Amino acid sequence: MDRNRKILISILAVLVLTSVIAIVDISMNMQQKRGAGISLTGPQIGPGVGIARIEGPIQMLGVSSPMSATSGAEGVIRRLDELEQNNDIRAIVVRINSPGGTVAATQEIYEKLWRLRKKKIPLIASMGEIAASGGYYVASACDYIVANHGSITGSIGVIAVSPNLRGLFDKLGITMNVIKSGRYKDILSVHRDITPEERQLIQEIIDSSYRKFVRDVARGRAHVQGEDGIKPIADGRIMSGETALKHKLVDMLGTFEDAVDKARQMAKLAEDAPVYDEVKSSLQQFLFNMEGRFSGRNFLNPDPRLLQYENNYRIEYRYLP
């Protein structure tokens, strides 16, 4: 009987908490709509600046959750499509906090931004803590790049990492039975050494992807320097925002707010023109924060090191410390 009573009380407590959160959510959303709306789903209050965010490792499909906006290249491109189709969006700030990611996903975001740039929509990249490798790649598609003094950027290059567990397998007495259709079908397998021929095949892909990286960065930065200016520093080195400014990889040192102000200026908008950020309700934010409290970390945007093993078989525009 006591146990049933405890279960009933627990259920009631959850229902009450859910109701309170819902009421707070509705109240806060109403206040946001009465203020300077930041959501494309809210009241349209005139021409302004749209925000697109690139968070975490760049992949085709990112982490998806009811408590957060869709991430990944496809989610970023959908967001850019949404901004492009809205007549009130006169400029876009691309907020980047990413070490880069897979080659194809990075290239897709870059090409989408380049198409918007050709349509004369002012694009301003705003670097957060890190916008390195593929993070810088996509930034270079923008008309103007703003970095913090301490932003980690650069890392222009390509990497492929594969663990070799042959020694461990031998110690444990583990053998792998591989049946394959061709000599290269199990290339980069963890149970054996890579052959010189296999290394050459991977190197060719790396070199091709690298040349594409340098060409695209040079195309995006053509207004300040060409490919000859990019190549000497396209050796994988990372650098601070301050150093990147000296190398003409960025145009200005500043904050996210400075990037928004620059977008307003380039689009010839009023100083108080509205900012249309990605939608995140207060309920989503509450659950997002609670999840972080209980888990000790935010696993909706996990530590890139936790994803490193998963990405070991990919060729990437990515900074891997």
> Regarding beta strands 159-160 and 315-318, do their DSSP bridges make them parallel or antiparallel, or are they unpaired?
antiparallel
Tell me, yes or no, if 185 is annotated catalytic: yes
Tell me how far the alpha carbon of residue 80 is from its chain's centroid: 13
Separation of alpha carbons 219 and 222, rounded Å: 5
Residue 277: DSSP 8-state: P
Determine how many CB atoms are found less than 10 A away from the CB of residue 77.
Answer: 18
- Which conformational region is residue 133 in: left (phi greater than 0), alpha (psi within -120 to 50 degrees), or beta? left
What whole-number distance in Å separates Cα of residue 259 and Cα of residue 273?
13
**68, 98, 126, 133: which is the annotated catalytic residue?**
133
Please name the helix (run of DSSP H) or strand (run of DSSP E) that holds residue 35, with its range, or none. none
Q: What burial letters (b/e) apply to 107-132, b meaning 16+ CB within 10 Å?
A: bbbbebbbebbeeebbbbbbbbebbb
- Residue 305 carries which side chain, given as an amino acid letter? R
- If phi > 0 it is left, if psi is from -120 to 50 it is alpha, else beta; for residue 266 that is alpha
Contact assessment for residue 263 and residue 122, using Cβ atoms and an 8 Å cutoff: yes
6, 33, 180, 185: the catalytic one is 185
Nearest to 213 by CA among 131, 76, 143, 317: 317
| Residue showing tokens 């907020």 | 95
User: Does the annotation mark 212 as catalytic?
Assistant: no
Place of tokens 């189709």: 85
Active site residues: 133, 185
